[in-house]
Structure 1
Amino acid sequence: MNRRTILMSVTAIGLALTSVASAQGLPPLEKKERYKVGFSQMESNNPWRIAETKSFVDTAESCNWDLITTDAAGSAAKQVADVESMIAQGIDVLFLPPREEKPLIPAVKRAQAAGIPTFLVDRSVDPNAAVAGEDFVAFLGSDFIDQGRRVAEWLSENFEGDKGVIVQLEGTTGSSPANDRKKGFDDAIAADDRFEIVASQTGDFARDLGRQVMETLLQAHPDVNVVYAHNDEMAIGAIQALELAGRTPGEDVLVVSIDGTRDALQAIIDGKMGVTVESSPFFGPLACEVMNRYADGETIEPWVQVQDRIFTAENAADHIDEAY
């Protein structure tokens, strides 16, 4: 094969990849040995976020990434600015866990305008403002509605009292996991007339704020006997508040949650928590796989769904060594 034939073949492949991406309304991704990859983390104030960032860092070498990471420290405005900085640095691909559904739309749009394929990781954005397959390539993550539903179903099956008085600790206001975990749980638990949600308040996915909110809600609702937290950090904070108030988590109040952290699995083993539905932070390998598929010219499904396990007293000890 002569040089001219090789050049024609490479050009044909490039045009084919461009046509696939254009059909999706997306920027193409050239196939090459190394990529400059941006990962815009929203914050690093809890084990889940730290584990997620580490997963990307650990994947960078095996996936031939020159990885740029940022930390928005819980600020949606800073996260938008972080993405703009990455665009200016000439990244090839962006992986973005948007802190909130609406404020991160500008970041998604600017990456799209700059010709950078963007993958939303573990959280999505408002589907009325940005659409997978058009404004960004795909969402990589769990079914948050299903997570909430599974917690509610476990609670309904395992609650032994006559009446469940529920306090709900919500995640970050305006975020897709908080919105969906609430909907999934609320809709499912409404089918069991033994339960009443007497209070639902944000704890911003944070342990200390979850503890503070739980302390306040306990004063207003001393008869609470179920706590549903949108993540394990708030659940652990709630357990601390309950114990300080003289309550006994696991006996006179049932705590249920989502994430699958090491602390939560230990709380289940210790009898202080009933269940946690997994929401894995280990997105690095999946991000590498999906990015390479896209570079190969494959049409990526709009939602690359992660399958989540459920941890209870029956299996928590079997999985705690692999937890974060």
Structure 2
Amino acid sequence: MYNRWGKAVILLLVFLCACTSVPVPKETLVQAPAVLQTDSSLTTALKQDERPVVLGFSQVGAESRFRNANTKSIQDAAKQAGIDLKFSDAEQQQSKQIEAIRSYIAAKVDVIAFSPVIETGWDNVLMEAKEAGIPVIITDRSVDVKDHSLYITLIGSNFVEEGRKAGKYVIDKMRNVNRPIRIAEIRGTENSAPALDRKRGFEEIIKDNPNMEIIASETGNFTREEGKEVMTRFLKKHGRDIQVLFAHNDDMAFGAMEAMEEIGLRPGKDIVIVSVDGGKEAFQAMLDGRLNCTVECNPLFGPLLMQAVRELMAGRNIPKRIIVKEGVFTQGTAAREIGNRKY
């Protein structure tokens, strides 16, 4: 339990900066490690009561390749770290996620972590965890709560910045086009942090370009099937008036490509496509000329989560926000980078 170890002040990213006295900002950018480094002193601290640390983790679902890679990363990292992982899949339902968190509270796990389905509606259950003395780590997606002491840290991507990167690519790609540029957008799950933030970041970048206009925007729930359905509707309504597609993840982009090809359009040529995630399939699509750009959203932060759990249970301090370092990849860099993709 958290109370056994004392309540840590969330100021420093100790697992990156244990050997320096330089202050760490509250928002810290790190590269998720491929392998969790073992520290014998931390292992001793974790097992001083002769039992493994128990982590209850509620995953948002299995809606995409990103999510599946994220799940595997967390499960593999827990096994490597010797952490007893209690895992549940919310199947995109907040009610199931709240139920899982309450079950972890009842089971008196040491730490709770979860990737929230949507941003809002977490205050009560997180207060229950706090009152039980169980620390909570948020992963991947943010929560909108009045009291930010209800969770210890958020580990994941900067979704607003991902949207900005997508917008910057579109502006650069279309810089020599001297006519109106009509953009279609397939958003992620309604009211989820990545959907809200990617849209905000993208619009922030393109809003001052008078030639650019988003003429269609719908949710595709991060799935390939709904991405195809949404793009089919867009094409029926707007036809070849669409010059650019911004899909909030790779899977929806792949579904949209299928819809384009069914009416004889060439993805990546007749319609410029930029997506988010950066999985291996996206790199192959860029090599094939079907996808123009993918903005990386790195799912492989399982080792980073386990490191945070270990530091927390050892009574050490971690920052309130840990942002995973990510890149932008295009057709021009796909061949060089595809071999480095781990998902």
User: Same fold by TM-score, threshold 0.5 exceeded?
Assistant: yes
Aligned residue type for 1:214: M
2:166 is aligned to 151
2:252 is aligned to 234
1:146-295 pair list within 5 angstroms: 146-159=161-174, 160-162=176-178, 163-222=180-239, 223-295=241-313
1:54 is aligned to 72
Aligned to 1:315, the other structure's residue is in SS state: helix
d(CA) in 1 for partners of 2:95 and 2:250? 26
Residue deviations 1:121-169 (CA, integer Å, cap 9, x gap): 0001014x341xx110010011111100011001111124333110011
From 138, 150, 157, the equivalent of 1:142 is 157
Does residue 86 of structure 2 align to residue 86 of structure 1?
Answer: no
Deviation at 1:204, TM superposition (A): 0.8
User: Bigger shift: 31-40 or 233-242?
Assistant: 31-40
Aligned residues of 2:46 and 2:314 also touching (Cα < 8 A): no
2:121 is aligned to 103
Residue deviations 1:21-41 (CA, integer Å, cap 9, x gap): 5999xxxxx942220111101
Aligned residues of 2:11 and 2:320 also touching (Cα < 8 A): no
d(CA) in 1 for partners of 2:127 and 2:261? 47
d(CA) in 2 for partners of 1:19 and 1:180? 31
d(CA) in 1 for partners of 2:273 and 2:161? 18
Aligned residues of 1:166 and 1:226 also touching (Cα < 8 A): yes
Deviation at 1:18, TM superposition (A): 1.9
Higher relative contact order (CA 8 A, sep 6+): 2
Aligned residues of 2:10 and 2:320 also touching (Cα < 8 A): no
Aligned to 1:252, the other structure's residue is in SS state: coil
Q: Percent identity?
A: 35
Structure 1 length-normalised TM: 0.88
Q: Paired residues, what number?
A: 302
d(CA) in 2 for partners of 1:117 and 1:31? 17
- Note the aligned Cα RMSD (angstroms): 2.0
From 16, 27, 32, the equivalent of 2:46 is 32
d(CA) in 1 for partners of 2:248 and 2:11? 38
d(CA) in 2 for partners of 1:125 and 1:135? 10
Residue deviations 1:183-237 (CA, integer Å, cap 9, x gap): 0001101122221110111111111001001100111111111000111111111
d(CA) in 1 for partners of 2:116 and 2:84? 21
Aligned residues of 2:98 and 2:125 also touching (Cα < 8 A): yes
Residue deviations 1:257-307 (CA, integer Å, cap 9, x gap): 111112211111111111111111112100112222223333321111111
d(CA) in 1 for partners of 2:281 and 2:129? 37
From 89, 94, 117, the equivalent of 2:135 is 117
| Gap runs ≥5 in structure 1 | 1-13, 25-29
Aligned to 1:193, the other structure's residue is in SS state: coil
d(CA) in 2 for partners of 1:229 and 1:103? 26
Aligned to 1:314, the other structure's residue is in SS state: helix
d(CA) in 2 for partners of 1:107 and 1:221? 44
Structure 2 length-normalised TM: 0.83
